[in-house]
């Protein structure tokens, strides 16, 4: 004759099922958290790649063209990096943006890269020379950026700012720009960019 389960056996079985359920739920939470971390890391990497491509494009198309301010006075140099004239800017230079010669905005723009509140920003002026009609468009490329630094190579010599000689004629463009920074959750990033119109190596 078959006997039914005792109360103790039922309670033990329920306890085992509960433990298995808790372990499964904990495993699910861990999986979800890991998935969130992976998605966040992929998103961060994609933003770094995008910022890298924009920097590469701008610097590759940098021009040895001296801009003018709103009074029509020359800036003196075509490329500035960590220079007091553009306080707070990492880079400031003219760039060729396309082949449309009939564009009312022109094909040469003035670009500035700034670092503010742990954010790397790109600011583009619609005209290379400042006028009362000049407008700027700001784009945040990266957030959570720390310890950013930049240096330039010219004639196999690295320098920390540009131009090399402030009070002389236009120094032109450096050959290479190196930018390094730390990104929260990723670590240190170091990138080097060639400038196509820089002096030959």
Q: Which residues of 150-161 are buried (b: 16+ CB within 10 A; e: fewer)?
A: bbbbbeeeeeee
Residue that the structure tokens 């969130």 belong to: 36
pLDDT (tens, 9 = 90+) of the chain, 201 residues, equals 455 556 666 565 666 666 666 566 566 555 545 555 567 777 888 888 899 999 999 999 999 888 887 787 778 888 988 876 666 688 999 998 765 544 544 588 899 999 999 999 999 988 787 877 788 899 999 998 999 999 999 888 898 888 877 666 788 899 999 999 998 777 899 999 999 765 433
Distance from C-alpha of 77 to C-alpha of 86, rounded to nearest angstrom: 12
The backbone torsions φ and ψ at residue 109, rounded to the nearest 5 degrees and listed phi first, read -120, 165
Q: Count CA atoms closer than 13 A to 21's CA, side-chain side.
A: 6
- Which helix H or strand E contains 95, and what residues bound it? strand 89-96
Is the dihedral angle over the CA atoms 82, 83, 88, 90 positive or is it negative?
negative
């Amino acid at each position: 004759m078959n006997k039914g389960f005792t109360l103790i056996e039922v309670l033990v079985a329920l306890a085992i099922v509960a433990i298995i359920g808790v372990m499964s739920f904990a495993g699910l939470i861990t999986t979800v958290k890991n998935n969130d971390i992976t998605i966040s890391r992929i998103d961060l990497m994609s933003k770094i790649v995008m910022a890298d491509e924009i920097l590469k494009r701008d610097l590759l198309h940098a021009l040895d063209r001296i801009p003018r301010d709103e009074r029509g006075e020359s800036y003196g140099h075509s490329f500035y990096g960590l220079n007091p004239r553009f306080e707070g800017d990492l880079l400031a230079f003219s760039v060729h943006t396309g082949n449309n010669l009939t564009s009312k905005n022109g094909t040469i723009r003035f670009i500035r890269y700034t670092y503010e509140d742990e954010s790397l920003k790109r600011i583009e002026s619609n005209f290379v020379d400042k006028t009362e009609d000049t407008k700027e468009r700001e784009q945040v490329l990266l957030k959570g950026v720390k310890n950013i630094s930049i240096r330039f190579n010219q004639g196999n010599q690295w320098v920390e700012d540009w131009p090399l000689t402030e009070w002389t004629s236009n120094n032109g463009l450096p050959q290479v720009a190196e930018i390094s920074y730390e990104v929260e959750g990723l670590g240190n990033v170091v990138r080097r960019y060639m400038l196509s119109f820089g002096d030959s190596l």
